[in-house]
């Protein structure tokens, strides 16, 4: 797989915005390259002052939308034939249909939005949308919404939390990162509540001692 052969982090840091656009567009159009890794690398670079996070998010969103529309046209004109024909990666391509088609049947156009956040479907969602002849206007609406939300969520998470967020997203996905953040936030909230109750109890104890001394 191309993702295993490309040091996309180094390339994005070296070539900046144009490389970010290319890898995100390529992944979105159906090529197995690490587009999300490129976005994470660019956002981390922005947190270090090497890039601007506003440009990183905007470029990633536009690239995702453009790439998805290329993939949609490929899928509409011959995507099923490409996915089903014998040859290299045949089992992986078949798995795309086995996994993706039921997902599209259950969720309809919203699958384009949710597919943006799922590793396997992010690469093939646009092809599946075209192959199943989803109306283009509906596809474009959900595709654009998903691309903007994805670029914003991943970009800001990696920008503010750095490499730790990037590693969590790559390992567990964005929903996994959200779960980790919720657990961490809950633990932090419980800690502050416990601390506040302890301080309130200590203050009450001091008031009781003071009242006893006055007597």
Would you state the pLDDT for residue 20? 93
What is the domain partition of the chain in residue ranges? 2-161, 173-215
In percent, the amount of the chain with pLDDT more than 70 equals: 69
Would you state the pLDDT for residue 103? 74
3-state secondary structure the chain: CHHHHCCHHHHHHHHCHHHHHHHHHHHHHCCCCCHHHHHHHHHHHHHCCCCCHHHHHHHHHHHHHHHHHHHHHHHHHHHHHHHHCCCCCHHHHHHHHHHHHHHHHHHCCHHHHHHCCCHHHHHHHHHHHHHCCCCHHHHHHHHHHHHHHHHHHHHHHHHHHCHHHHHHHHHHHHHHHHHHHHHHHHHHHHHHHHHHHHHHHHHHHHHHHHHHHHC
pLDDT digit string (tens) for 27-55? Answer: 998 887 888 888 988 998 898 888 999 99
**Rounded average pLDDT over 145-173:** 76
| pLDDT of 63 strictly over 50 | yes
pLDDT digit string (tens) for 2-18? Answer: 444 456 666 777 778 99
pLDDT digit string (tens) for 161-179? Answer: 765 555 555 555 555 555 5
Global pTM reads: 0.68
């Amino acid at each position: 797989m191309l993702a295993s052969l490309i040091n996309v982090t180094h390339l994005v840091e070296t070539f900046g915005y144009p490389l970010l656009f290319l890898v995100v567009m390529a992944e979105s159009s159906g090529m197995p390259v690490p587009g999300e890794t490129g976005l994470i690398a660019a956002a981390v670079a922005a947190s270090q002052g090497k890039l601007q996070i506003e440009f990183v998010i905007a470029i990633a969103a536009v690239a995702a939308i453009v790439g998805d529309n290329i993939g949609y046209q490929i899928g509409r004109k011959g995507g099923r034939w490409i996915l089903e024909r014998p040859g290299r990666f045949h089992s992986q391509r078949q798995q795309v249909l086995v996994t993706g088609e039921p997902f599209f049947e259950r969720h309809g156009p919203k699958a384009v939005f949710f597919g943006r956040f799922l590793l396997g479907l992010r690469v093939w969602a646009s092809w599946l949308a075209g192959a199943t002849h989803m109306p283009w206007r509906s596809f474009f609406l959900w595709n654009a919404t998903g691309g903007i939300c994805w670029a914003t969520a991943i970009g800001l998470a990696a920008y503010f939390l750095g490499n730790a967020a990037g590693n969590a997203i790559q390992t567990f996905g964005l929903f996994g990162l959200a779960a980790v953040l919720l657990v961490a936030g809950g633990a932090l909230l419980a800690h502050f509540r416990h601390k506040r109750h302890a301080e309130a109890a200590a203050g009450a104890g001091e008031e009781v001692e003071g009242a006893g001394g006055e007597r």
